């Protein structure tokens, strides 16, 4: 039976106590990093709830690392513009202050906790190693008085509740997740302002200056202009009246989601999901509400959004080698090593691949779609990564190149789904063995002829050519950053 929690409570299974503390009633700080939103955020709900219990105030803290995981203008522009909106909405709707720090979180967060006499630090969950390590360090640093709680606000079913071990594939995790959906796939409570107000005003954040600095530093990869950052825009992409996925485009998902010529058939939600500007639970909840309209499309969407995405978190959480050949299953490692020295028809360097200088125009088009548009179509991502295996000196090199390019150019890159996407394509993770062939061994193979049977390859190549020309033209005419800044000034 579905048990809805009381209006302001978070299900206990979503919260993990990383460290108990002895101070029962100081301020509460929510260190936000993966779930960058005000609405539909269980970590924020928990922070407010705990603050009220302690009769204490609550603040949100965000630490801007220096080029975290190779972040460039594309990632930083999107994230900071989203955070600028978040700061305003957090204050206007809930009177919660937002503190922005720059530098190392293991320094800035503990220092802030001392300054404000905090009794509790609430943090987001991520399976990626860098932040996990920082969290461990912070727990050691904060002293006996402060408790640290981690909330999985990113997955519909918290990763540790879905499974306590590394899952073999979608087949093994699906029923575990589905069993828990009645508990976790529920609507969110309406969050009210906390009972106590924060005593001091946070320092002003000069967003425009900060954004300009970050854009300059990460100028190697330009911003995208087709995807408005922030949680309002994210909700619009999900269910806006104009062109929302669930309101206007849903039916096409069932028929056209594997056609790279029809990118609008996909939800387009991955940038927002990656930066936490929308909650996967909100997307799933609303999709389920319209299932009657297009059951096949909704079922397929939920499979990707919940099962596949949460399987990726499961992999990165329980497999420390989530981005290397060592993280592959033994059968896959063996077959890849058996074929590592097979003769390749073509061999390309990372630089040639990055510049889309291969003999395969289809592959080049997908690479250019990623470099210029910032989001390669999901179907092409599989072909793209598999070809890298075919054209480089063995699986380790192929994986390193695929991850490097994916993280550098995809707006949704540097994400568990990216590591697992590359591991699936190159190392057979979450897949099975197939008929053995040169280079690939038993790893699933994809080729040009197969793509040609599925969609109009020449039309896709022409489509990307147009996309690149148009993108370059727009940038040359207006200058993307200055165009955005004019808009920012208008809003301010
Ligand atoms: P939709 O089909 O509308 O899917 C909705 C959501 O479901 C997505 O936003 C995503 O969160 C999730 N999803 C969809 N497909 C998958 C999948 N195969 N695995 C896990 N979750 C999925 N996804 C990323 O978010 N970041 C990446 O860096 C990334 N890199 C990839 C690299 C390779 C080589 C491969 C094969 C896949 C990669 N994916 C990645 C997964 C998938 O291709 C993208 O999530 C999807 O194309 C995003 O577009 P969408 O939101 O319009 O997709």
CA distances from 49 to 4, 13, 369 (A): 16, 16, 44
In terms of pTM, does the model score above 0.85?
yes
Q: What is the pLDDT of residues 310-346, one digit of tens each?
A: 999 999 999 999 999 999 999 999 999 999 999 999 9
Q: What is the pLDDT of residues 45-73, one digit of tens each?
A: 999 999 999 999 999 999 999 888 889 99
Q: What is the pLDDT of residues 380-405, one digit of tens each?
A: 999 999 999 999 999 999 999 999 99
Q: How many CB atoms lie within 10 A of CB 203?
A: 8
Dist. CA 40–CA 189, nearest whole Å: 8
Sign of CA dihedral 123, 128, 131, 134: positive
Identify the CA nearest to 231 among candidates 72, 60, 79.
Answer: 79
Identify the CA nearest to 264 among candidates 277, 248, 280.
Answer: 248
Where does the pLDDT of residue 491 fall: very low under 50, low under 70, confident under 90, or very high at 90 and above?
very low
The residue whose CB lies within 8 Å of the most ligand 1 atoms, and thus the one to mutate among 398, 409, 421, 428, is 421
Where does the pLDDT of residue 475 fall: very low under 50, low under 70, confident under 90, or very high at 90 and above?
confident
Q: What is the pLDDT of residues 98-125, one digit of tens each?
A: 999 999 999 999 999 999 999 999 999 9
Residue 488 has a pLDDT of 41
Q: What is the pLDDT of residues 13-23, one digit of tens each?
A: 999 999 999 99
Residues 6+ apart with CB under 8 A from 348: 357, 358, 391, 392
Sign of CA dihedral 79, 83, 89, 95: positive
Dist. CA 434–CA 428, nearest whole Å: 10
Dist. CA 383–CA 457, nearest whole Å: 12
Transcribe 287-305 into DSSP letters: HHHTTTT-HHHHHHHHIII
Which structural domains are found in the chain, ordered by start?
A: 1-154 (3.40.50.620), 155-191+231-318 (1.25.40.80), 325-471 (1.10.579.10)
Transcribe 178-222 into DSSP letters: HHHHHHHS-PPPPP---SS--SSPPPP--HHHHHHHHHHHTTTSP
Residue 69 has a pLDDT of 85
Is a pLDDT exceeding 60 seen at residue 487? no
Tell me how far the alpha carbon of residue 263 lies from the centroid of ligand 1, in angstroms: 13
Where does the pLDDT of residue 476 fall: very low under 50, low under 70, confident under 90, or very high at 90 and above?
confident
Report the percentage of the chain scoring pLDDT > 90. 93
> Angle 325-331-337 (CA atoms, 0-180°, nearest 5)?
55
Does the CB atom of residue 276 touch ligand 1 within 6 A? no
Residue 8 has a pLDDT of 59
Tell me how far the alpha carbon of residue 168 lies from the centroid of ligand 1, in angstroms: 19
Is a pLDDT exceeding 60 seen at residue 5? no
Atom of ligand 1 nearest to the CA of 385: 34
Q: What is the pLDDT of residues 177-230, one digit of tens each?
A: 999 999 999 999 999 999 999 998 999 999 999 999 999 999 999 999 999 999
CB 62 within 8 A of CB 259: no
The residue whose CB lies within 8 Å of the most ligand 1 atoms, and thus the one to mutate among 299, 378, 419, is 378
Q: What is the pLDDT of residues 222-279, one digit of tens each?
A: 999 999 999 999 999 999 999 999 999 999 999 999 999 999 999 999 999 999 999 9
Pairing of β 15-19 and β 147-151: antiparallel
């Amino acid at each position: 039976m579905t048990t809805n929690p009381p209006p302001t409570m978070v299900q206990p299974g979503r919260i993990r106590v990383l460290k108990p503390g002895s101070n029962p009633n100081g301020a509460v700080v929510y260190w936000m990093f993966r779930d960058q939103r005000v609405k539909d955020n269980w970590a924020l709900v928990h922070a407010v709830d705990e603050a009220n219990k302690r009769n204490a105030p609550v603040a949100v803290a965000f630490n801007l690392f220096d080029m975290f995981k190779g972040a460039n203008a594309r990632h930083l522009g999107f994230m900071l513009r989203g955070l600028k909106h978040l700061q305003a909405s957090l204050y206007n709707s809930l009177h919660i202050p937002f503190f922005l720090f720059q530098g190392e979180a293991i320094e800035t967060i503990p220092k802030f906790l001392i300054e404000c006499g905090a009794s509790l630090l609430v943090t987001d969950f991520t399976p990626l190693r860098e932040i996990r390590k920082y969290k461990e360090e912070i727990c050691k640093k904060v002293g006996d008085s402060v408790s640290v709680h981690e909330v999985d606000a990113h997955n519909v079913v918290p990763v540790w509740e879905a499974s306590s071990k590394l899952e073999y594939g979608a087949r093994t995790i699906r029923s575990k997740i589905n069993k828990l959906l009645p508990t976790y796939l529920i609507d969110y409570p309406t969050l009210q302002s906390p009972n106590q107000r924060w005593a001091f005003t946070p320092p002003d954040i000069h967003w425009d200056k900060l954004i300009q600095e970050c854009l300059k530093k990460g100028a190697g990869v330009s911003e995208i202009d087709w995807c408005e950052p922030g949680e309002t825009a994210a909700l619009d992409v999900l269910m806006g009246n104009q062109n929302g996925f669930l309101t206007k485009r849903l039916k096409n998902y069932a028929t056209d989601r594997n056609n790279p010529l029809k990118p609008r058939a996909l939800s387009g939600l991955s940038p927002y999901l990656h930066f936490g500007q929308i909650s996967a639970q909100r997307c799933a909840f609303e999709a389920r509400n319209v299932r009657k309209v297009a059951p096949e499309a909704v079922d397929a969407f939920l499979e990707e959004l919940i099962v596949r995405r949460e399987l990726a978190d499961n992999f990165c959480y329980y497999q420390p080698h989530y981005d290397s050949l060592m993280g592959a299953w033994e059968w896959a490692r063996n077959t890849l090593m058996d074929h590592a020295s097979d003769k390749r028809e073509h061999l390309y360097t990372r630089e040639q691949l990055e510049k889309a200088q291969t003999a395969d125009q289809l592959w080049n088009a997908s690479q250019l779609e990623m470099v210029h548009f910032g989001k390669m179509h999901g179907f092409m991502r599989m072909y793209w990564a598999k070809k890298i295996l075919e054209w480089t000196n063995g699986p380790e090199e192929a994986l390193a190149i695929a991850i490097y390019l994916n993280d550098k150019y995809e707006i949704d890159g540097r994400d568990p789904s990216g590591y697992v996407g590359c591991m699936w394509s190159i190392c057979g993770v979450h897949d099975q063995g197939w008929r053995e062939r040169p280079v690939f061994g038993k790893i699933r193979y994809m080729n040009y002829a197969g793509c040609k049977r599925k969609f109009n390859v020449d039309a896709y190549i022409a489509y990307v050519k147009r996309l690149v020309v148009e993108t370059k033209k727009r940038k040359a005419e207006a200058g993307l950053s200055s165009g955005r800044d004019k808009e920012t000034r208008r809003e301010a």
